[in-house]
Amino acid sequence: MLNLPGNTNFNPALPYVIKWDSTLNRIAGDVKAFVDDLRAIGWSQEHAWQIARHIACRLQHLGLQDAARKRRVDNGPWAGAVFLSSKDQVAQTVTEEKWIKAQGYIQDISDIFKNNPNSKISYKYLEQVRGFLCHLAMSYNILFSYFKGFHLTLTIHLDKRNEEGWKLTDNQWEMYLQDKFHRGKISTEEL
């Protein structure tokens, strides 16, 4: 249903485009898919739970499992973005806790290197930071340029990577090694 300014039934309290349940005369429930995760949307918490149960029954009938214990009322540790809307715009953000956590990670790494530039940081910890930054970059696209540098720095030591840290296929890796050998950068033993 379109709820646009100028329509005779325009209601400024409702979104411009909505799914409408004419039987109940209210916004209809919906299900949104995020990769392999389904989220129920309803006009009340009870309605959202009814939709989630209905979808779970259908999935289980098809042989797919549903873990009701994973349904949360709060934002959850890996809830995606938070969307805020006003009359003329929709803004995407994350919870304040996540933003503070990201700042803490960056400050922690910065402090370690300020105190001792030759410090070694746990690879597992850096992978954890990378995962969280990737999660934030889904809400803040500008972070991707910084995230790429962080990722390449973290993975440059892994096998089949060029000088910049980019992963190479088996054929690319073979050609890369042959090129280094012909330029005298590596010896026969290193091949």
- Residue 131 Cα distances to 29, 56, 154, angstroms: 32, 29, 12
Q: Residues 80-138: pLDDT tens digits?
A: 677 777 767 777 788 888 889 999 999 999 999 899 988 888 889 988 998 888 888 87
Which range has the top average pLDDT, 58-62, 64-68, 184-188?
A: 58-62
Query: What is the pTM (predicted TM-score) of this model?
Result: 0.50
- Say if residue 76's pLDDT is above 60: no
Rounded to whole angstroms, the Cα distance separating 106 from 65 reads 38
- Say if residue 79's pLDDT is above 80: no
Burial of 83 (0-12, 13-18, 19+ CB in 10 A): exposed
Beta bridge pairs of residue 31: 40
Rounded to whole angstroms, the Cα distance separating 7 from 108 reads 54
How many C-alpha atoms does 47 have within 13 Å on its Cβ side?
Answer: 12
- Say if residue 189's pLDDT is above 80: no
Q: Which residues of 14-30 are buried (b: 16+ CB within 10 A; e: fewer)?
A: eeeeeeeeeeeeebbbe
- Residue 153: its pLDDT value, please? 81
Tokens representing 153?
């720095």
